[in-house]
Every structure is written in C-alpha cells, then in structure tokens.
Chains A and B, each alone.
Chain A
Amino acid sequence: MSNSKGYFEWAEETFDIKRIFEKPEALKGIRVLDVSQVLIGPETASLLADFGAEVIKIEPPGMGELLRSVDLWSRFWKNNSVGVMWVQRNKYFFGLNLKHPKGKAIFYELVKRSDVIVENYVPGVMERLEISYKHLSEINPRLIYISISGFGQWGERWNWPSWDAAGQAASGASAVSGYEERIPMKLPYYPGDLLGGAAAFMTVLAALYHREKTGEGQYIDVTQAENLARHLSFIWSYVSKKREDWKRLGNRDASMVANAFKTKDGRIVTITAISNKHFEGLCKAMGKEELLEKYPDLVSRLKPGAREEIDNEIKSWVELLDGQEIIEKSAEFGFSAGIARNSVEVYEDYHFRDRGTVWMYNDPLFGEMVHAGNPIKMSETPARVKWTVHPVGYHNRYILKNILGFTDEEIKKLEEEKVIGYWVDFFGRTPPPDFDPEKDPLFRW
C-alpha cells in the first residue's frame, strides 16, 4: 500500500510541516511551572512547551527575569531581547510575587494542579522560599521537580553561583577547545545552558514515563558542569590512561579523518570521513585513489604521519575549489563536507525552512517571526512554535480565571495588594511598539 510511493515522497508527506497543526501534541495535558530564569531552565521548559505542555512562566512583577536586560550587542529588537525570545516558546507569563504570603498560597494551589516544576536558582534558595521539592512533594506526591544548577544540590560546590561559561570552565569543555598556544575557548551561544537544557528535558521525560508506570513523582538534579563533562565522553578515559592532558587541536579531530580547510573563495569547509566507504568517496572526489591503497583501514589513517599526509592532500585539493563546489562533490561521492556558514546563510536556507528548523511563523505580538524549530522531528506528534516571549504578567488573568477560578474583583484586589503585577516601562520589558495590550483579548481575559 504505502510502499507504492517513493521513500522521499512518502517522507515529505509524513513530516510535512504544513500539517503539523492537524496532529496531536505528545505532552498535551501536562502542566509545568517554570520558576527559572536566564537560559538553562527556560530552555528546558520551552522544549516541553514545544510538544504541547502548558508551561506557566512565573516572574517577579515589574522587572521580571534577569535575561530581559540582556541582548546581543544590547540592540533590543522591538523593545525586546532576541536572547530571551530564543528560550521562551509557547509559555504563559504570570507575574506573581512569591515572597508575598498570598502569592505563595496561589503558587501552592497551582502546584496541586501541576505535573512538573523547573527551577534553576542557586541551591538553597527554593528551600528558603519554602517551595523546594521537600515542601512541594508533600502537597503533590506525583510532582516531578527538576532543580538545575551550576554544580548540583549537594557536594562541596552546592551553593556556588554559576553561569554557562563557569560550567564550561569547570568541566574541561573549554580546556579542550581552541589552540594549544592560545587561551582556551569560551564556547559561544552558551552551550553549558543549551546542552544542559536538552539533557534536563530528557530527564523530565524519563520521569514522566516512570510516573506513567508507577504513579510516583520524583526529584531531579542536573548541573551545567557535569552535563558538559558527560559530552567529553572518551576524553576522560584517554587522559587517565595516558596520564597526560588533552591537547587543544584547533579543528582537527584526533579520532577520525576530520578537519577544516580554506577554499579558493576563502570559505572554511569541514571534511570528514569516518568509515572506509566515506574515505573511498573522498579519495575518488579528490582523484587520489592511491591514498586509499596506502591507508586501507581506519587505524592506519590515524597514526601521526598518516594524518598529516592525508590532511595535506585534502588541503591542496580544497584550495583549488570554491566552497559550493566541495558541497556538490560531497553529494556526488558520499563523504561529509560542510561550510562554516553565517547566520544569514542559515536563515535563508530553504531546506531548513522546509524542515521547520528555521521556523517561520506569525507571532501574535511580534508579527512575522522566526524561531529555531525543535530538532526532534516526529512524524505523529511533531513540535511546534506558536508564540514567543510576552511581557511580565501578560497572562495573569487567563491563568487566575481559567486554572484557579478567580473573579474580576478578586484579581483586582491581588493587583492592589501587589500579589500579582505586570511589566514596567523599562528596556527589554515593554511590548513591541505597535502592539496594544489593552485591545488584546488574552490580556483582558
């Protein structure tokens, strides 16, 4: 039946992003309270929201979260930080004062009706606020509570403050990156946070699956430093066995034929050949089949002299071609080649738009908008981006009325008592200039 169609034709249809909104969401019915800020916690909660979880982001009224003050080159597009937009997908924004007794009471009511808590404050803060796992698991034993931190809830660094790059520095991730004779690289775009968020998301899903089978909730401890260390994988085994440190090798991969080279038109291309078949494809593309005869197996190609010879052959071949020509050759001969592209080249790549990786959509606040779509492409329950960041407290009324059954009068009183609140007129906080919240039904709910 279905086999009558060609594979790619079938795959196009199966994963067609135009049909995503007709399909179910895997996490529909799961409610998440996101009490985190900056990147790692917000990204964890956003990944859950990509797949349909109802995520309520709780911020202190007024200034809201810290990252709202931070943008790339402090440019603030349409009054907002694109850095914040990056990690605030599909959430409901609740401006709630957790230090006010009534604010805390509202929070506890939400906890009874929620499945997951995500927080990333310095360990100990949640306990002082009486909203740690110890407190909340008594209210809701089915609760899955994830605490994300620099170094963990326990151990000698338990109360150290941390940023992404502190995790990079502590984990060895920086010390193995860059060139031996230069300062180690502070890796860009905050991988301590974003790689950590991916793993944190995975553990929450594992806990949800466990709860389906057993009915029990649990506590999760994920850290920036340890997560990056896990990514170093076999490097630890190598270093301990050799009893000497790992050297920073620039772009050269020590374990396979893989390096970066400069093309005729001045681009940087990466060339990789892991298996024999890939290496054979590369040698054929270069017209250097004798290399395959000389180095017929992977092990022979890794030895010091061989690696230099092979890299030199690739270098002198790449120098004669333009970047795009190499990419065409990779398709023809079956080896791995990539160009170090800039952000416009990725943004304008229609293959990645087809895949929803460069996700173009119409945002209710910002209009025509882009998002980095979820990388987990699922055929039955695909991820989707519906909206990005909203101002502090934007969904206060929606949450209080829909989930907790508050009346207009009660909400007014909470506003007067400063239990709940909204954004202040300050950079990074206000809605886009052409947007009028007073006319918005969601805000006025």
Chain B
Amino acid sequence: MEWHEFSKEYFEIEKAKLKSGPLEGIVVLDVSRASPAATFASALLAEMGAEVIKIEPPEGDELRKLTPFGEIYINDTGLPFLVEGRNKEFITLNLEKAEGRELFKRLAIHADAILESFEPGWMDSMGIGYRQIREINPGVIWVSFSAYGCFGRNAKKFSKVPDSNLFGIAMSSYMEANRELPEVGEPYNLPTAPGFWMATNLAGVYAAAGVVLALYYRTKSGKGQMIDITSVDSMIHVSPSIFWSHAHGEPLFVGVLPLDYAVFPYAYWKIKDGYVFASGFTDPNFRALITQLGAEELFEKYPNVFARIKLENQKVLYQELAEKFEQLTFADLTKRMLEWREQNREGVAVYMKVTTPKEVLEEDYWKERGDFRDVKVGEDTIKVIEPVWRLSKSPLKLKWLAKDVGEDNGFVYKKFLGLAGKDLEELKKEGLI
C-alpha cells in the first residue's frame, strides 16, 4: 500500500465523527466584545471540543454587524461572526449592572478558561477581573486581548486603543514589507495589508494555543494563569526584520514585490491562464527551472545565489523569465515538471497556480480533503471552511454556526446556575439578560 493510502486511514472522515475532541469537558467563557481575535480563538477552542459559552450584552455583540460590503446577513448576523461563532453556545448578560456582574462571577466559578477584550483594567475595576475571579476559581485560565497589552511602559497610556487587524499589521513592520518595487508608483509601492484578517486571526491561534498549554500545565501543577495577547506581538513574531536591524543597524530593505529579499527565483509571474508561483533558488533547482523554461543559457550569467539575489540582477532575470512564462499555461508547466521528475533529473522546480477563492471551491483536491461543508442556518444554507488540522485520535470538528443572541440562555443558565422559567423572565425584565 502506498503511503498516501495508508496515511489516509488514520484520518478517515467518517470515523473521525465518532471520536472526541481534545478539549471535551472543558468550559470556556468568551466575554469579548467586537474582537475578531478573541472570536477566532474561541472558535478554535470550540473546534477542539470545549464547551464555549459566548456571553453577549442583551443587544448582541457588535461584531455581529460586520459583513463584507454590508451585503449578506443571516438572522441579522454578518458572515464573520456567523462563521466563527461555530460550535459555541450563546447567552446574554449585562455586565454594566452590578447584578449582572454577580451572575458573571457565579458563571466564572465553572469556567476553565475566560476570554475577554475589554480595556485593560476595566473588568478589574468592576471587581470581575482576573485578580478577583482567581480568588473564587484558582485554576482559571484568563486570556486578555488588547492592542498594546496589559504591561509594558505604554500599556496604561494606550489602554483605550482597541486592537485591530490593520493595527497589528502596521505596527509590527509587516505592512512595510508588503508592497511592490519603488518604481511602480503609488499606491502599489506603499505598505499594504494582506486581504484577510491575518493579524487578528494569528493572535487567535496563539491565544488558543496558550489556553491549551495552560490547561496542560494545570494538569501537572493545579495552577491557572493569565495570558496577555495582542495582534502586534503576534505579527512581530512572524517577521524576521528586527534581526536584520540588530545585525546591521539599519532598516531591512523590503517592499520588492513581486521579487524576494532572500531567494530568487521565488516569485509570481503572469502566464497564459492567470498567474503562477515558481521557484528554484539553489543551484540545481535554478538549473531545473530555467531548463524547463527553455532558458538554460542563463545559468552561466547567474551561476550562484549571490549573483542571483542582487536586486538589479533579479529585475533583469525576472523580465527574461517573464517572456518565457507568458507563453505557457499552468498545465504546460506541470507537464514539464513531471517529465523532469520521471527522468530522475537533478533539481526540483516548484510551480503553483495562483488560485482565487472561487477556483479553490471547485477543485477536487479540497473536496477530497473535506475542507468545505454546506451548513444549514435556519432556512439558509452556507458554505464554510472546516477545521483543517487533522489529529488522528482526537479530531477537531465543525458542528454548527453562530446562533441567535441569547438562544442558549435557557440551557446554559439552567445547567450552570439552576435558573429557569420565572427566574429568567425576571432577569430579562431587569435588563440583565
């Protein structure tokens, strides 16, 4: 049996449905407001099987109102909240009122982890911060999401500043690197953010990882702890630029798209049927690439990585290869790559079509991997992305999407606080839920 057939058996999608997620039995309260980072983090914890209770103010989390171009709302909920509301339970609670905060405390006793995104210090000043909750729940894991964090010399001064995706992208120096060559002119040579929520989603991944790590440590020590997460810390971590400035005492020269500052060729080119990524930067790989393109004579001119990485040489080489690429389709390129491999020749050139979201949704690869699913929401059906990281024994799962504001009030308040029927009606009347 070949490896791909053998390995597939570890992850069989039908069997995975019968297995439990790694965080089964863990209770998480997500009391964040208008926070894409916390919302992504709690979605990941919910995919891992935790019981995530999303606590909204009675009028709903404002994140529900976000949707691309204000176009698609399902049950008054925009797509970001709908999609990342996955597997969560939805309750309402008014934390502006003292009685609401008392109810929060009673819920917090049952929580393994609590996620919040208020201004640093606000929950503490209201008597429901980490310092107070750990007194009644010593094992609690508390995640605070903010822009500048809870510590560091500017934390207090900038505590009112909300975190955001563009903030993390810009302040980390990531945005500075993402722009075209100077000569192409504005706005294309100005710092540009990626077209998806990279910074806040990444902060969400690190936060979810931090919660699992803290849970692991708690099994050994019995101790809970607090975790401080920002999108800018997250983005600095994935940018190598500060090393350069330390080593060479100057800003890293970046912003050379479609070229690269570390490897060449490692770029996108226009081809007959769209755009392609192509690479071959070690000598044998470069030779493989240019030979497959019918330009092997270039090797003598650019025989090593030092010759190829020089920006002026990259520009010339890019143009010379561009003339070859524009005559080819992606199918032509893959055919040449496979022939090369079958002949067992030295070096590997890598090609990949720059695929649009619509194209992705039509490709067999993603269908076979089970990466997308149609999910019913009320009368509507919507296509969503599944958890994509596969664990053979304790798989992640997508169960449902965001529900209505307060839809699980009855269930959650009964389960954790024994409140039902009349009690809930009272709370509603007082504007607490």
Bound pair (A, B): yes
Q: Chain B's nearest CB lies how many Å from the CB of A192?
A: 10
Q: Is A36 among interface residues, defined by CB-CB distance under 8 A?
A: no
Contacts of A14 in B (CB 8 A): 151, 226
Q: Is the CB of A183 within 8 A of B268?
A: yes
Q: Is the CB of B68 within 8 A of A169?
A: no
Q: Is the CB of B180 within 8 A of A182?
A: yes
Q: Is the CB of B385 within 8 A of A15?
A: no
Q: Is the CB of B161 within 8 A of A177?
A: no
Q: Is A443 among interface residues, defined by CB-CB distance under 8 A?
A: no
Q: Is the CB of A195 within 8 A of B202?
A: yes
Q: Is B160 among interface residues, defined by CB-CB distance under 8 A?
A: yes
Q: Give residues 410-442 of A contacting B (CB, 8 Å).
A: none
- For B165-179 the 0/1 string (1 means CB < 8 A from A) is 111111111111110
Q: Chain A's nearest CB lies how many Å from the CB of B396?
A: 8
Q: Is the CB of A177 within 8 A of B165?
A: no
Q: Is B262 among interface residues, defined by CB-CB distance under 8 A?
A: yes
Q: Is the CB of B213 within 8 A of A8?
A: no
| A188-B275 CB under 8 A given contacts A236-B384, A275-B34, A355-B149 | no
- For A327-364 the 0/1 string (1 means CB < 8 A from B) is 00011111111111111111100111011011000000
Q: Is the CB of A378 within 8 A of B3?
A: no
Contacts of A123 in B (CB 8 A): 3-4, 7
Question: How far is B234's CA from A83's CA once the two chains are assembled, in angstroms?
Answer: 18
Q: Is the CB of A77 within 8 A of B247?
A: yes
Of the listed stretches A92-100, A104-112, A367-375, chain B binds A367-375
Of the listed stretches B88-96, B124-132, B410-418, B419-427, chain A binds B124-132
Q: Is the CB of B166 within 8 A of A260?
A: yes
Residue of B nearest to A82 (CB): B243
Of the listed stretches A54-62, A149-157, A286-294, A391-399, chain B binds A149-157
Q: Is A34 among interface residues, defined by CB-CB distance under 8 A?
A: no
Q: Is the CB of A270 within 8 A of B169?
A: yes
Residue of A nearest to B255 (CB): A188
Contacts of A300 in B (CB 8 A): 70
- For A79-96 the 0/1 string (1 means CB < 8 A from B) is 000110110000000000
Of the listed stretches B101-109, B295-303, B362-370, chain A binds B362-370
| A132-B120 CB under 8 A given contacts A170-B352, A172-B357, A303-B70 | no
Q: Is A321 among interface residues, defined by CB-CB distance under 8 A?
A: no
Name the residue in B172, B196, B266 with the highest tally of chain A Cβ atoms < 10 Å from its Cβ: B196
Q: Is the CB of B40 within 8 A of A233?
A: yes
Q: Is the CB of B195 within 8 A of A233?
A: no
Residue of B nearest to A67 (CB): B262
Contacts of B168 in A (CB 8 A): 338
Contacts of B150 in A (CB 8 A): 7-8, 11, 15
| A219-B392 CB under 8 A given contacts A134-B6, A209-B215, A239-B361 | yes
- For A267-282 the 0/1 string (1 means CB < 8 A from B) is 0111110111010010
Q: Is the CB of B166 within 8 A of A251?
A: yes
Q: Give residues 51-74 of A contacting B (CB, 8 Å).
A: 51, 66, 69-74
How many residues on B have C-beta within 8 angstroms of the other chain's C-beta atoms? 184
Q: Is the CB of A185 within 8 A of B178?
A: yes
Contacts of A152 in B (CB 8 A): 369, 390
Q: Is B252 among interface residues, defined by CB-CB distance under 8 A?
A: yes
Contacts of B7 in A (CB 8 A): 123, 133, 147, 153-154, 158, 219, 221
Contacts of B242 in A (CB 8 A): 343, 346-347, 358, 370, 372
Q: Is A124 among interface residues, defined by CB-CB distance under 8 A?
A: yes
Q: Chain B's nearest CB lies how many Å from the CB of A112?
A: 20
Residue of A nearest to B374 (CB): A240
Contacts of B147 in A (CB 8 A): 336
Question: How far is B174's CA from A177's CA once the two chains are assembled, in angstroms?
Answer: 14
Contacts of B158 in A (CB 8 A): 330-331
Contacts of B125 in A (CB 8 A): 7
Contact of A248 among B195, B227, B245, B392 (CB under 8 A): B195
Contact of A331 among B157, B192, B202, B390 (CB under 8 A): B157
Q: Is A140 among interface residues, defined by CB-CB distance under 8 A?
A: no
Q: Give residues 231-251 of B contacting A (CB, 8 Å).
A: 232-234, 236-248, 250-251
Q: Is A313 among interface residues, defined by CB-CB distance under 8 A?
A: no
Contact of B22 among A66, A162, A207, A351 (CB under 8 A): A207
Q: Is the CB of B357 within 8 A of A245?
A: yes
Question: How far is B227's CA from A376's CA once the two chains are assembled, in angstroms?
Answer: 7
Contacts of B246 in A (CB 8 A): 347, 369-370
- For B188-228 the 0/1 string (1 means CB < 8 A from A) is 10111111111001110111111011111101010111111
Q: Is B116 among interface residues, defined by CB-CB distance under 8 A?
A: no
Q: Is the CB of B279 within 8 A of A338?
A: no
| A8-B121 CB under 8 A given contacts A123-B4, A206-B22 | yes
Contacts of B58 in A (CB 8 A): none
Main secondary structure of the interface of A (DSSP, over half): mixed
Q: Is the CB of B151 within 8 A of A334?
A: no
Contact of B354 among A175, A274, A299, A342 (CB under 8 A): A175
Q: Chain B's nearest CB lies how many Å from the CB of A226?
A: 4
- For A194-228 the 0/1 string (1 means CB < 8 A from B) is 11001111110111111010101111111100110
Q: Is the CB of A8 within 8 A of B251?
A: no
Q: Is the CB of B394 within 8 A of A206?
A: yes
Contact of B237 among A199, A206, A274, A372 (CB under 8 A): A372
Q: Is B65 among interface residues, defined by CB-CB distance under 8 A?
A: yes
Contact of B350 among A8, A161, A251 (CB under 8 A): A161
Contacts of A317 in B (CB 8 A): none
Q: Is A250 among interface residues, defined by CB-CB distance under 8 A?
A: yes
Contact of A375 among B22, B229, B364, B371 (CB under 8 A): B229
Q: Is B309 among interface residues, defined by CB-CB distance under 8 A?
A: yes
Contacts of A374 in B (CB 8 A): 237
Q: Chain A's nearest CB lies how many Å from the CB of B156?
A: 5
Q: Is A324 among interface residues, defined by CB-CB distance under 8 A?
A: no
Contacts of B217 in A (CB 8 A): 24, 26, 380-381
Contact of A373 among B237, B245, B263 (CB under 8 A): B237
Q: Is the CB of B225 within 8 A of A260?
A: no
| A338-B167 CB under 8 A given contacts A7-B125, A124-B4, A218-B392 | yes
Question: How far is B205's CA from A47's CA once the two chains are assembled, in angstroms?
Answer: 13
Q: Is the CB of B251 within 8 A of A343?
A: yes
Question: How far is B2's CA from A47's CA once the two chains are assembled, in angstroms?
Answer: 32
Question: How far is B215's CA from A27's CA once the two chains are assembled, in angstroms?
Answer: 12
Contacts of A174 in B (CB 8 A): 268, 277, 354
In order of increasing CB-CB distance, the 4 nearest A-B pairs are A302-B70, A343-B241, A176-B195, A270-B166
User: Please, could you name 24 A-B residue pairs with CB atoms under 8 Å apart, sorted by A?
Assistant: A47-B209, A73-B253, A86-B243, A147-B7, A154-B4, A155-B365, A157-B365, A169-B277, A169-B354, A172-B359, A185-B178, A188-B257, A189-B241, A198-B209, A205-B209, A206-B396, A245-B357, A259-B166, A298-B65, A343-B244, A347-B242, A347-B246, A372-B237, A372-B239
Q: A166-B352, A270-B166 are in contact. List 16 more A-B contacts (CB 8 A).
A: A72-B261, A151-B365, A157-B365, A168-B277, A173-B194, A185-B257, A186-B266, A186-B277, A233-B83, A254-B69, A331-B161, A336-B162, A341-B171, A369-B246, A376-B206, A378-B210
